[in-house]
Amino acid sequence: MHTLLSRFRSWLLAALFFSLCATLPSCLSLNDDDVVVDNTDYAARDEEILQAYIKANNLTAQRQASGLYVVITQPGTGATPTAGQQVSVLYTGTTLDGKVFDSTASRDNKPFSFAIGRGQVIAGWDQGIALLNKGAKATLLIPSGLAYGSRGAGSDIAPNTVLRFDVELTDIK
């Protein structure tokens, strides 16, 4: 009787182990097709939101192929930064309803510095700041896919939120 119980227990553990091995990977995998559809759905939604915002606020914006909109409010001078160059930026970030979530003004107007094209900032910044020259002021209207996407950022930026940044490129090195 003891051997029969031991065999049954071994068989049950083996069956459980193989079932777990067969099903666990499907729980852990992320379907790339779902991500593409999700991003595509939000890109279309973001585009509608941005176009309505631009119209409602009577803005003249340049649309980039990525979906980023740039409104130049004051032209700068000289060349635009290239990948790897260090830039310094004064900025205020808001949601489209005007809620400020970050600003260099709250840090004694000390410019924020980063290297262009190195992925140190959200993609909308890498793309938008690269279009400006020193001294330029602009508004970047950034679709969620070029901002924080489905992750959001803390309690201030919900997932899939379109963002507005008023920026001034103060230096290029």
Residues catalogued as catalytic? 91, 101-102, 122, 148, 165
- Beta strand spans in the chain (E): 62-63, 69-74, 86-95, 100-103, 112-115, 137-142, 163-172
Domain-embedded: residue 25: no
Q: Is residue 35, in this structure, part of any structural domain at all?
A: yes
| The two structure tokens encoding residue 90 | 């004064």
- Angle made by CA atoms 71, 73, 74, in degrees to the nearest 5: 135
The 3-state DSSP class for residue 161 equals coil
Q: Which residue has the higher pLDDT, 119 or 4?
A: 119
- Percent of the chain past pLDDT 70, that is, above it, reads 77
Residue 71's CB is within 10 A of a number of other CB atoms, namely 17
pLDDT digits (tens, 9 = 90+) for 115-158: 999 999 999 999 999 999 999 999 999 999 999 999 999 999 99
The answer to whether position 22 is within a domain reads no
Interatomic CA distance for residues 70 and 67, integer angstroms: 10
Residue 2 lies in a domain: no
Return the CATH number at 80: 3.10.50.40
pTM of the model: 0.78
The number of domains in the chain is: 1
pLDDT greater at residue 33 or residue 69: 69
Per-residue pLDDT, 41: 75
The better pLDDT of the pair 16, 105 is held by: 105
Q: Is residue 157 part of a domain?
A: yes
Hey, CA dihedral for 119, 124, 125, 126, is it positive or negative? positive
Residue 18 domain flag: no
Integer CA distances (angstroms), 140 to 11, 37, 114, in order: 62, 25, 17
Any domain includes 1:
no
Residue 40 domain boundaries: 31-172
Q: Within a domain: residue 137?
A: yes
Please state the rounded mean pLDDT for residues 154-168: 97
